[in-house]
Structure 1
Amino acid sequence: MSVHANKTGGHKFEVIWNPATDDPRGRIAYAIESGRLENALAVLGATAVEDLGPVEMLRQLTQSTASLQRDLERKTRGLVVALRDNHKLSWTEIASLLYDDPTKRSSARGVYNAGVRQLGLINAEVSEDTDTD
C-alpha cells in the first residue's frame, strides 16, 4: 500500500497516492475533489453536531460522511472475507479488529456474511450457530 497521509507541520497534512495503482477507480480523487473527505474530517473532529453549522451544512456533511461510510463498509466486508477465508482468522480476532470487543463474534460473522453476499460467494456463507470461534 503506497497511500500516505503525512503531517507537514502544525495542523497540516498531505495525502500522497499513485492514481494508477492506489486509486484506479478514482474514489480517493473523487472524495478529495468533491469535498467529501474534507467534510468527513470536519465531522470527525467536531465536538458536537451543533458546532457544524446550519441545516444546509448539516445536510452536506451528512451526505459526505454517509457516502464515505458506504464505500468503507463495502471495503471492510471484503477485508473480513479475506481475513477469514484466506488467512484463517478466528471470529474472536475479527471481532476484536472490527469492534475492539472479542465477544462480538456474531456481529463479526454478520459482516463476513454480508461480504460473502457482496462478493457473490453465497455458498461459503456461515450460519450463526456454526464455528463458534
Structure 2
Amino acid sequence: MSVHATKTGGAKFEVIWNPATDDPRGRIAFAVESGRLEYALTVLGAATVDDLGPVDTLRQATQATASLQRDLERKTRGLVVALRDNHGLSWTDIAGLLYDDPTKRSSARAAYNAGVRQLGLINAEVSEDSETD
C-alpha cells in the first residue's frame, strides 16, 4: 500500500501519502482539508449517535460520512470488476470480501453490475441467473 496510516502512540496516528502518485485527483487531500475524514472517523468511533452532539454536528457528520461512503462505494465497484474480470475471483469469493458472507453471491453480482455500468462496460453485465460459481 502506498498510503500509510501509522499509530504513533496512545490515541494518535499519522497518515502519509504522496499527493502526486497516491492522490492525483485530490480526494484524500479534500477529505482531510474539508474535515470530512475527521467527521467520518468521529462517527466511526462514536458509541451512539447521541454522543455526536447537537443537530448541526449531526448534519455535518451525516454529509461528510455520506460523501466519503459514496466515493468509497464507487471505488469498491471498480475493485469488484477488476477482481472478477482480471483475476477471475468467484462470486462466492467476492461476496466474502464485500459482506463477510460468501452466500451473498447475488449481492456481489449486483455490485459487479453497478461497477460495469459505472465504468461504461455495459455489454459485460451479468444477470442474476447467469454464471454461477
Code of the aligned partner of 2:67: S
Deviations 1:33-68 (A, max 9, x none): 000000000000000001100100000000000000
Q: Counterparts of 1:13-24 in structure 2 under 5 Å?
A: 13-24=13-24
TM-score with structure 1 setting the length: 0.99
Percent identity between the two aligned chains: 85
* SS of structure 2 residue aligned to 1:93: helix
Provide the residue aligned with 2:110 in structure 1.
Answer: 110
Residue segments in structure 1 that go unaligned for 5+ positions in a row: none
Alignment match, 1:6:
6
* TM-score normalised per structure 2: 0.99
2:116 & 2:102 partners in 1: Cα distance?
Answer: 21
Q: CA deviation at 1:114?
A: 0.1
Aligned pairs (5 A) from 1:1-133: 1-133=1-133
Which SS does the other structure have where 1:72 is aligned?
Answer: helix
Q: Flag structure 2 segments of 5+ consecutive residues without an equivalent.
A: none
- Separation in 1 of the partners of 2:128 and 2:96? 18
Alpha-carbon separation, structure 2, partners of 1:2 and 1:127: 35
Aligned partners of 1:14 and 1:51: how far apart in 2? 25
Structure 1 stretches of at least 4 aligned residues deviating more than 4 Å after TM superposition: none
Structure 2 Cα separation of the partners of residues 122 and 42 of structure 1: 38
Cα deviations across residues 53-107 of structure 1 (Å, max 9, x unaligned)?
0100000000000000000000000000000000000000000000000000000
Q: What is the Cα deviation at residue 132 of structure 1?
A: 1.4
* Alpha-carbon distance between aligned partners in 1 of 2:35 and 2:15, rounded to the nearest angstrom: 14
Structure 2: distance between partners of 1:8 and 1:99: 31
The alpha carbon displacement at 1:110 in A equals 0.2
> Which amino acid is the alignment partner of residue 6 of structure 1?
T
Distance 1:34 1:124 in 2: 37
User: Following the alignment from structure 2 to structure 1, what is the Cα–Cα distance between the partners of residues 70 and 125?
Assistant: 22
In the aligned structure 1, how far is the partner of 2:27 from the partner of 2:74? 13
